[in-house]
Structure 1
Amino acid sequence: MSLRIRLARSGAKKRPFYRIVVADSRSPRDGRFIERLGSYDPMLPADNERRLVLKNERIQYWLGCGALPTDRVARFLGQAGLTAPRAIPEQTIKNQPGKKAQERIREAEERARQAAEAAAAESAEA
C-alpha cells in the first residue's frame, strides 16, 4: 500500500478548508483516509497561527513509515522544518507570449539598447 500525505478539501463553496491527511494513494481526494495530521485554512491571513496546524510527531511517524507528501504538503512541511525545503516546481509557460511576440519584444529591446548607445556616444562627442 503506497501512502500519501495530502490535502482533503472541505468547507463551503468558495470558502475552502483543507485537512492534511495520510491516505492510500488509490483512495479519492476527499474520501477515506487513515489519519488526520493537521489542517490548512487559506482564508486566514498568512501570519495567523491557525492558518496551518500540524501534528509534528504523527507526521514524523508517517514519513518514517514511507508516506510521501504531495508537492503542496511538502512545501508546508519544509516551512515548518519537518523536512528539507523542497524546490518550487517549474511553472507552466502558458501565461507567456508566443514565439513571434517574444521575438518582437527582443527586437524592440535591441533597438532601444542601440538607440541608447548611439545617444550616449553622441553626447560623449559633444
Structure 2
Amino acid sequence: MDDPSLDFNTPGREIAVAAEALYLANLMIVPGIAFVALLVLWFRERERAPDLARNHLRQTLAASLWAGALLVIANAAIILAGGYDSPHTWIIVILYFTTCHSTLIFCGAIGLAKALAGKPFRFPLIGPTA
C-alpha cells in the first residue's frame, strides 16, 4: 500500500536522516561524539543543503543545545538540593529522565520518521520556526 504523500526521492532526505540519527545517537548511545558529528554536518551542509535537510539540521542542532541546557539545569538542581550524596538527587534524576530526556528522545524518533518520509519537522516548544 503506497502512500502518495511520501516522497523518498526528496532532495536532502539523506542529510535529514543523518541529522536526526546523530541527534538520537547523541541522546542515547555516544553523547558528545554524536553532537560533534552533528556540528560538523551542520557546518558542512547548512549553506548548500536543500530545504528539507536544512530544516532537520536546524531542528536537531537546536534540540541538542536545549538537551544540553536541560542537563546543566538538572545538575545545578542536584547541587543546590544538597549535592550528589543527598537523597534528593534521585528525585531530580528520575524527574529529569522521565520528563525531559524521554520527551527529547520521543520527539527525535518522530523527527527521524519524518526525515525518512522526506517531510519537514519542527520540535514542539523548543524547535526554531522556519
TM range (shorter): under 0.3
Greater relative CO, 1 or 2 (CA 8 Å, sep 6+): 2
Of Structure 1 and Structure 2, the greater strand share is in 1
Greater gyration radius: 1
